[in-house]
Amino acid sequence: MKKILLLALSLALAPAFCAAGGPPPATQAGIEAKDYKWNAQEGEKIEALKLKGTAKDGKEGYEVCGACHLPSGAGRSDGTFPQLAGQHTTVLIKQMADIRAGLRDNPTMYPFAKELTDAQELANVSAYIESLCIPAVHGMYEGPDAAKQIADGKAMYEKECIECHKANGEGVKDKFYPVLAGQHYKYLLRQMTEIRDGKRRNANPDMVTIIKKYDNAQLIAISAYQSSLVMPGSMCKASVAKPVKKK
């Protein structure tokens, strides 16, 4: 398989890539456009979903992703780059295909995503990411009112979010509902705010309808709770400190 980029590729190169060849122009007016198809069964996404991806073959392709999302798939705790490890292949394939096709606006990621050679590599990289354990240590809400925010967020989550994202934040693979467990608080808050405000063009319209009624304070609470979710059996095992040998 063609080696697409070295892991050492830095974020400093992203602007240069964008200038050299940015994402295709927006093809939709917005997330509520009548002709927008949130999950149209067509294009590269469908081709990749039909293929069997292999984690072993996807490891090399993931090197370009690891520059931002880290080799572990943990992303950045400040929310600049999301935690990817353990995410459903369906969700990963859809999001990468949408970015490559210009249906999701992400100029930072586009230069890297476009380097994936074809639908098979897209499937392989997604399989590799899904195989990674979910980091237990990640960006959480850290305010002095954390306990209250999480409690308030839990009540709202269980009222309207749990049906799709489930009790442990495991989502639903065949419906493209993402895993939330282990995701960074600041990333969750940013995405929900952008979805509510119509700034994420490839958002699920069902979620747009639900989230529109929440104000900023409520989104903070929901994000605080979501970032506290864990998936038993999918989280990385805590590292055990090795005993220091006496000389």
- Going by C-beta distance under 8 Å and a sequence separation of 6 or more, which residues neighbour residue 51? 119, 120, 123
What is residue 36's predicted lDDT score, i.e. its pLDDT?
A: 52
What is residue 201's predicted lDDT score, i.e. its pLDDT?
A: 87
What is residue 246's predicted lDDT score, i.e. its pLDDT?
A: 65
**Neighbour-count burial for 26-61, b at 16+ CB within 10 Å, e otherwise:** eeeeebeeeebebeeeeebbebbbebebebebbbbb
What is residue 88's predicted lDDT score, i.e. its pLDDT?
A: 98
Query: Of the candidates 82, 184, 86, 71, which has an alpha carbon nearest to the alpha carbon of residue 138?
Result: 184
In the chain, CATH 1.10.760.10 covers 22-131, 146-226
What is residue 28's predicted lDDT score, i.e. its pLDDT?
A: 44
Name beta bridge partners: 134.
235
What is residue 2's predicted lDDT score, i.e. its pLDDT?
A: 40
Q: Domain 146-226 belongs to what topology?
A: Cytochrome Bc1 Complex; Chain D, domain 2 (1.10.760)
Q: Domain 22-131 belongs to what topology?
A: Cytochrome Bc1 Complex; Chain D, domain 2 (1.10.760)
For the full predicted model, state whether its pTM sits above 0.75.
Answer: yes
For residue 169, the 8-state DSSP code is S
Which two three-digit tokens encode residue 46?
Answer: 């469908």
d(CA 207, CA 116): 29
What is residue 227's predicted lDDT score, i.e. its pLDDT?
A: 98
What is residue 18's predicted lDDT score, i.e. its pLDDT?
A: 32
Per-residue pLDDT tens, the chain, 247 aa: give them: 444 333 333 333 333 333 335 655 554 444 444 445 688 777 899 999 999 999 999 999 999 999 999 999 999 999 999 999 999 999 999 999 999 988 899 999 999 888 888 999 999 999 999 999 999 999 999 999 999 999 999 999 999 999 999 999 999 999 999 999 999 999 999 999 999 999 998 999 999 999 999 999 999 999 999 999 999 999 999 776 566 666 5
**What are the counts of helices (DSSP H) followed by strands (DSSP E) for the chain?**
11, 0
